[in-house]
Amino acid sequence: MTVWDLIANAGRRWVLTLCGALLMGLGVLWVVNVPPLYFAQVRVVLLPPVAAQPNAYGYTSESLIDLAGVVARELRPPTQDAQSVSGDVTLVGEGIRKGFSVTQQNSGGQWQYRFDEPVVEVQAVGATPSEVRAQISTALRQVESTLAEIQDEQGVIAANRVRITLNPLQPQLIEEKGSRVRAIGSIVLTGLVSTLAVVGGLGVGRGGSSRRRSKRSGARGDASAVGVSSA
């Protein structure tokens, strides 16, 4: 079947063609009206205490890395069993539309855990900028309180406590719109292919039946011609 045959079939099957166009239009309308998501991320860096007095969590970078891991585990939801393999993995990429996370970045890959920095990653996602700012603030307060509770249990005095700093100092909001042009193109292409496939399939079935009827009629005509000649 040629392209012109498909176009002709689409014209004959205009009801199906119209239905396909309407579905494509609804898909494009949905993509255009999808509200954007807002995302923010900040690194909470653990720093050794300023004072030189003993602190079991402040001697070396390894102990600070361990402390960061304890904080992340305390704030990790029960349903989350593993740390992120890559720092590029975001809540938006995981399909989460509201909430925050506190994780320790795993540098060892999928099959091995390795943590190289005394850092916890805080991410937040929401439908509005104010919602994301509130989520980030809540997460940072929980990091600070968890860190304080851990050191309270060890009896660390205020002068010897591990400190934190943010990188960057002010979390930057990012509007996640996705590629709407790509999504619209995919919907239109899928709709066209699907519609033409349905219309073309129906056209082939009808044409095939017509050809079979023509062949049977031709065969009967040939047999009649042979009978006349024999007579």
CATH number at residue 56: 3.30.70
**Residue that finishes a domain, picked among 176, 194, 215:** 176
Q: Is 126 a domain residue?
A: yes
Is residue 197 located within the same domain as residue 218? yes
Rounded distance, CA 117 to CA 199, Å?
59
**Residue that finishes a domain, picked among 159, 176, 193:** 176
What pLDDT was estimated at residue 7?
A: 63
Within 8 A by CB and 6+ apart from 65, the residues are: 115, 116, 117, 118
Q: Is 230 a domain residue?
A: no
Residue 160 has pLDDT above 50, yes or no: yes
Q: Is 231 a domain residue?
A: no
Is residue 11 located within the same domain as residue 62? no
Q: Which amino acid is at 73?
A: R
For the CA atoms of 106, 108, 112, 115, what is the dihedral angle to 10 degrees? Answer: -50
Summarize pLDDT for 52-61 with one digit per residue, the tens: 555 555 556 8
Given a contact cutoff of 8 angstroms between Cβ atoms, the answer to whether 63 and 56 are in contact is yes
Residue 209 has pLDDT above 80, yes or no: no
Is residue 84 located within the same domain as residue 164? yes
Task: Show the domain range for 16.
Answer: 3-33+180-225
Q: Is 42 a domain residue?
A: yes
Is residue 155 located within the same domain as residue 106? yes
Three-class HEC string of 41-66: EEEEEEECCCCCCCCCCCCCHHHHHH
Bridge partners of residue 101, in order along the sequence:
123
Is residue 49 located within the same domain as residue 162? yes
Is residue 55 located within the same domain as residue 160? yes
Residue 2 has which token pair?
């040629």
- Average pLDDT of the segment spanning 176-181: 63
Percentage of residues of the chain with pLDDT beyond 70? 59
Is residue 116 located within the same domain as residue 166? yes
H or E, element range at 6: helix 3-12
Integer CA distances (angstroms), 149 to 84, 143, 152, 176, in order = 25, 10, 5, 35
Summarize pLDDT for 63-88 with one digit per residue, the tens: 899 999 999 999 987 655 555 545 56
Is residue 107 located within the same domain as residue 135? yes
Q: Is 192 a domain residue?
A: yes
**Residue that finishes a domain, picked among 176, 191, 207:** 176
Is residue 122 located within the same domain as residue 110? yes
Is residue 50 located within the same domain as residue 129? yes
Cis peptide before 168 (omega within 30 of 0): yes
Rounded distance, CA 9 to CA 120, Å?
61
Is residue 71 located within the same domain as residue 166? yes
Range in 84-88, 150-154, 168-172 the model is least confident about? 84-88
Is residue 49 located within the same domain as residue 157? yes
Rounded distance, CA 173 to CA 5, Å?
53
Structural domains of the chain, count? 2
Q: Is 21 a domain residue?
A: yes
